[in-house]
Amino acid sequence: MVRALKAPATTSAATTTSLPDVQEKVAAIIADIRTRGDQAVREYSGRFDGWQPESFRLSAEQIEQIVARVPQQVLADIEFVQRQVRGFAERQLASMQEFEVETLPGVHLGQKHIPVSAAGAYVPGGRYPLLASAHMTILTAKTAGVPRVVACTPPIRGEVPDATVAAMHLAGADEIYLLGGVQAVVSMALGTETIAPVDMLAGPGNAFVAEAKRQLFGEIGIDLFAGPTEVLVVADAAADPFVVAVDLLSQAEHGPDSPAVLITTSEELGRSVIEHVDRLLPEMPTRDNAEPAWRDNGEVHVVEDLDAAYALADTYASEHVQVLTAQPREALAKMRNYGALFLGEGTCVSYGDKVIGTNHVLPTRGAARYTGGLWVGKYLKTVTYQEVTDPAASAELGEVCGRAARVELFEGHARSGDVRAAKFGGAQLSWSPDEFARS
pLDDT in tens, 10-37: 654 444 446 889 999 999 999 999 999 9
Catalytic residue among 320, 345, 360, 396: 320
> Distance between CA atoms of 247 and 46, rounded to whole angstroms?
38
pLDDT in tens, 173-227: 999 999 999 999 999 999 999 999 999 999 999 999 999 999 999 999 999 998 9
Active site residue 319: yes
- Residue 18 pLDDT: 62
380-388 and 107-115 strand pairing: antiparallel
> Distance between CA atoms of 383 and 371, rounded to whole angstroms?
20
Look at residues 181, 190, 231 and name the one whose alpha carbon lies nearest to residue 45.
Answer: 181
Active site residue 135: no
- Residue 344 pLDDT: 97
Task: Give Cβ neighbours of residue 353 (< 8 Å, ≥ 6 apart).
Answer: 132, 360
> What type of residue is 273?
V
What pairs with residue 118 in β-bridges? 148
Catalytic residue among 291, 319, 345, 396: 319
Q: Tell me the whole-structure pTM to 2 decimals.
A: 0.92
User: 1 falls in which pLDDT band (50, 70, 90)?
Assistant: confident
Look at residues 235, 408, 432 and name the one whose alpha carbon lies nearest to residue 322.
Answer: 235
> Distance between CA atoms of 297 and 78, rounded to whole angstroms?
33
Q: Average pLDDT over the chain, rounded to whole?
A: 95
414: Cα within 13 Å, side-chain hemisphere: 13
- Residue 10 pLDDT: 60
> Counting every residue, how long is the chain?
439
> Distance between CA atoms of 145 and 175, rounded to whole angstroms?
16
